[in-house]
Chains A and B, each alone.
Chain A
Amino acid sequence: MRTAERTSSLAVLRETIRDASLVWLAGGIVGVSFGAIAVAGGLPVWVPIAMSLLVYAGSAQFSAVGVLLAGGGPLAATATGLLLNTRTAAYSLAVADILGSGRLARLAGAHLVTDETVAFALAQQDPLRRRTAFWVSGLGLFAAWNTGVLIGALAGGALGDTDAYGLDAAFPAVLVALTLPAVRKEAGVRRSALFGATVAVAVTMTPGVPAGVPVLLALAGLALYRRGATA
């Protein structure tokens, strides 16, 4: 039993590293572009670097810097970034028992809660595998993202337009691959996710709605969730 557990843990480690390394690479490249955009826009080199280490939330960082560079002011920049990150509160509820039992694991693990790490963790079946997937994908992504930002802030726009590589399609595709098993398995999740995504897309296309709100409204889809309704 113990040997079997260890084997399964090792297998999950290998599998997570294999799959997550692509996400790390993509995260690193997006990090380079974040660093480059921030510095090219006129912010000091330390701003993107400090922001990436401390805030560590890609979409919020891009929006906050975007608002700052567009002259939107510090209040609007903060509000936009925070609104985008409210979803991490829901994520942290979902992965609370995955992080580990110690205080340090909880405090450090909370900082690694991102779309990607939650998706990697929830794609696994049992608690031990979920914990391994969370920590391995999370530590790697933190390292890759911050290294990328550092390079981008120092080297500037050497990459050019990352949209030319289709990088903007890679992130949604990562989430498709990681959420598909859950969506496929349970009719309740399928209904909720479909309805929620429709709401989010419709609200995003509505003028005047602040960034971050549409995705939160998707949680309304949970009204269609009923337990035990399997496919």
Chain B
Amino acid sequence: MSPTVAVILALTVGTYAFRLVGTYAFRLVGPVLHGRVELSARVQELLSAGAVVLLVALLATGALTEGGGFAGWARPAGVLVGGVLAWRRAPFAVVVLGAAGVTAVLRLAGVA
């Protein structure tokens, strides 16, 4: 087996295992919590909050950093404009295209 094939296989199996483990863990925990809907709802809320925390951390590092350093001003400026648009309840498309547009224009103007 070539090293490249090994990398693809290991990543495939490992990633799928990560994706599956949560659904089965949840299923195992479910019957234990049976009849205790209040606790189950609390667990679900905590899990949702955990997912949101991960997503916000991902967007923050994605907006601000590149390869372990600062990403430059153009990208965070675009994301910030997108954030303001989202806060003002602009449509999804306006938020995303606004962010990309501001970043593209800033780069065109020579801002890294």
Residues of A whose CB lies within 8 Å of any CB of B are 18-19, 22-23, 26, 43-44, 47, 50-51, 54-57, 60, 64, 68, 73-74, 77-78, 81-82, 85-97, 99, 106-107, 109-111, 113, 115, 118-119, 122, 163-180, 182-183, 186, 188-189, 192-194, 196-201, 204-205, 207, 209, 214-216, 218-219, 221-222, 225, 227
Contacts and interface: CB of A to CB of B under 8 A. Distances in A.
A87 B26 CA distance: 16
Contacts of B25: 93, 96
Of listed B10, B21, B50, B83, residue having the most chain A CB within 10 A:
B50
Interface string B40-53: 00101111111111
B94 to A, nearest CB: 9
B46 A176 contact: no
Given A93-B22, A99-B23, A222-B46, A205 B69 contact: yes
Contacts of A113: 19, 22
Interface of B: 3-4, 6-8, 10-12, 14-16, 18-23, 25-27, 42, 44-65, 68-71, 74-75, 78-79, 82-83, 86-87, 92-93, 95-105, 107-108
Contacts of B14: 78, 81-82, 85
Given A50-B8, A85-B14, A173-B78, A22 B96 contact: yes
A111 B20 CA distance: 8
Given A54-B8, A96-B22, A200-B60, A222 B16 contact: no
Contacts of A170: 96-97, 99-100
For the residues of B in contact with A, the DSSP-based class is helix
For the residues of A in contact with B, the DSSP-based class is helix
Of listed A55, A122, A199, A214, residue having the most chain B CB within 10 A:
A55
Contacts of B68: 204-205, 207, 209
A37 B97 CA distance: 24
Given A119-B55, A175-B55, A166 B18 contact: no
Given A90-B47, A165-B104, A215-B61, 16 more contacts: A82-B15, A88-B22, A89-B18, A92-B19, A93-B25, A109-B23, A166-B101, A166-B105, A169-B78, A172-B59, A175-B58, A177-B92, A183-B52, A199-B57, A205-B69, A222-B53
B1 to A, nearest CB: 10
A68 B2 CA distance: 13
A169 B79 contact: yes
A122 B55 CA distance: 11
Contact of B104 (A44, A164, A180, A186): A164
Nearest to B56: A193
A109 B92 CA distance: 25
Contacts of A22: 92-93, 96-97
